[in-house]
Structure 1
C-alpha cells in the first residue's frame, strides 16, 4: 500500500497548488492514502498571520480543516484522504497549540522543529564563526527540542529530524550523543519519525534522516513513516519505491501511517 503523509498547498504561502491538486497527484502516482499536512499558523502570535510566506493565517485554519474533510468525503473510494497538520513546536507555547488541535478530528499531527535558539534551522549563517564546541551545543539544543516534542504527547509523527543539515551538510559530522538519546526517547514513547524526501531539494541532497540515523532508529525500535514534504503537486510520493527498498536494506520490515491517531502498520 502506497501512502504519503506530508504534503502542503498554497495556504502556507510557499507552496503552489490547491489541496485538490495534491490529491489528484496522489491518485496519479498510485497512492491509496494521502495525508494533507500544511504548516500550522503561529497560534501564540497576536497577529492573524505572523509570517505570510511561512504559515497560514489563524483565520484560515478552520477553513483548511473543513476543506480537507469535504474532500475526504468527495474522494472516498478513490483515495483515502487524511487530515493532518505540520505543527511547529515551541515548548513555551505547547499548551496554546494543544488546545487548538483538540478542537479538530486530526488523523495525525506532525511535530517539526523549524526554529532552534530563535533562528531558522535552514539559516546556514547560524554556523558562521562558531567553535567546534559551539557547533556541538547548537546540535544538542536542536535535538533537545525534538526530544521535548516527542515527550509532549502532541504528535504522532516527528518531521525531518535532521533537517538542520539541509543547507549545512557538515551538520551530520558534528559528534554528539544527543541523536541517540533522542531516538531512544522516541522509541520508548512509540511515535514515528518520517523519511522525508524533500532533503533532495536542499544543498545536502538525499533524504531526511541520513542512513546512519535510520540504522540507530531501527536499533531503538523507532517506527518510521513516509512523507514527500511536497510543496508542488509533482513531488507527491517522490522516491516512495526507493525509500521502501532502502528501509528493507537497513533492516526494517514495516512502516506505518495514522488514521484517527491510531497507528496502522504496513509491511515493506
Structure 2
C-alpha cells in the first residue's frame, strides 16, 4: 500500500499545479492513496489573505474542500483521495483553528510549527551571532511548541519535526536531546504520528525530516510514523517513498500509518 499524505498546490502561493495534477502524478508513480494537504489560511488574521505567497485565503477554504471532494469522487476506484490540511500551530489560536476544521470531513490534519517567537523556522539569519546557550534555548522553544501541538488533540500527524535544520544544518548539533525525548514521549502518549518528510532534500540540509537519530528514538518511545513528500510540484509526489520504507525497516519499524476519517490505517512495512 503506497501512500503520500503531504502535497500542496497553487492556492498556497508557492506551489505549482492544481490538485488534479498531483492526483494524476500519484497514479503515475503507483500510489494507492494520496492526501491533499495545502497550507491552512491564517484564520486569526483580520485580513482574508495576509500572506498570498504562503497560504490560501480564508474565503477559499470551502472551494478547496469542495474541489478535493469532487476529485475524490472522480477518481474513486483509481486512487483514494484524502482530504487533509497542513495547519500552522499557534497555541493562542488553536481553539479558533479547531473550530474552523470541525464542520468539515477532513481525513486528517497535519500540525506544523512554522514559526517560533514570531520568526520563520526557515530563516537562517535568526542564528547569526547567537550564543550557544541562546541556540539551545531556541531549540527547546521549538520542541516545546511541537509538544503543545501534540497535546492539543487537533492533529493526527505532526509535520517535519526537525525542519529548523532546513537552512541551518548545524541545528541538529545543538544539544537538546532531553527536549527531543520529552517531545517524543508526549507524541506517543497522545497517539499522534510523525511524518517522514522528504522535502528536506530540496533545502540546504539535503536530507529528510526527521533525522535517523530522531527516528531511532521515536521507535524507542513507540511513536507512529507516516510518509509525506511535501510536494510543491507534481513531479515530487511519492518522492523517495521506497527508500524511506527500506530505511524505516532498517531502523526497526514494522509498520506505518495513514489516516482516513481521522482513524489510523496501519500498513505493514
Tell me which interval the TM-score lies in, with the shorter structure as reference length.
over 0.9
How far residue 54 of structure 1 moved from its aligned partner, in angstroms, is 0.2
Cα distance between partner residues in 2 of 1:157 and 1:239:
19
Cα distance between partner residues in 2 of 1:147 and 1:239:
27
Cα distance between partner residues in 2 of 1:145 and 1:41:
19
Show the counterpart of 2:13: 13
Show the counterpart of 1:46: 46
Q: How does 1:28-107 map to 2 (within 5 A)?
A: 28-107=28-107
Q: How does 1:134-213 map to 2 (within 5 A)?
A: 134-176=134-176, 177-213=178-214
Cα distance between partner residues in 2 of 1:11 and 1:164:
24
Tell me the secondary structure at the aligned position of residue 84 of structure 1: strand
1:102-140 superposed Cα distances (whole Å, 9 cap, x missing partner): 010000000000001110000000001110000000000
Cα distance between partner residues in 1 of 2:252 and 2:116:
32
Residue 101 (structure 2) pairs with residue 126 (structure 1): no
Cα distance between partner residues in 2 of 1:229 and 1:34:
12
Show the counterpart of 1:108: 108
Cα distance between partner residues in 1 of 2:33 and 2:181:
31
Show the counterpart of 2:216: 215
Structure 1: gaps (5+ residues): none
Extract structure 1 runs of 4+ deviating beyond 2 A. Answer: none
Cα distance between partner residues in 1 of 2:192 and 2:125:
32
Q: Could you say what the CA RMSD is over the residues aligned between the two structures, in angstroms?
A: 0.4
- How many pairs are equivalent? 268
Cα distance between partner residues in 2 of 1:50 and 1:62:
18
How far residue 188 of structure 1 moved from its aligned partner, in angstroms, is 1.0
Cα distance between partner residues in 2 of 1:44 and 1:160:
23
Show the counterpart of 2:248: 247
Cα distance between partner residues in 1 of 2:99 and 2:2:
32
TM-score w.r.t. structure 2 length? 0.99
Tell me the secondary structure at the aligned position of residue 267 of structure 2: strand
Cα distance between partner residues in 1 of 2:51 and 2:185:
34
TM-score w.r.t. structure 1 length? 1.00
1:157-200 superposed Cα distances (whole Å, 9 cap, x missing partner): 00000000000000000111110000010011111000000000
1:198-237 superposed Cα distances (whole Å, 9 cap, x missing partner): 0000000110000000000000000000000000000000
Structure 2: gaps (5+ residues): none
Cα distance between partner residues in 2 of 1:191 and 1:46:
31
How far residue 50 of structure 1 moved from its aligned partner, in angstroms, is 1.1
Cα distance between partner residues in 2 of 1:69 and 1:101:
15
Cα distance between partner residues in 2 of 1:125 and 1:18:
33
How far residue 253 of structure 1 moved from its aligned partner, in angstroms, is 0.2
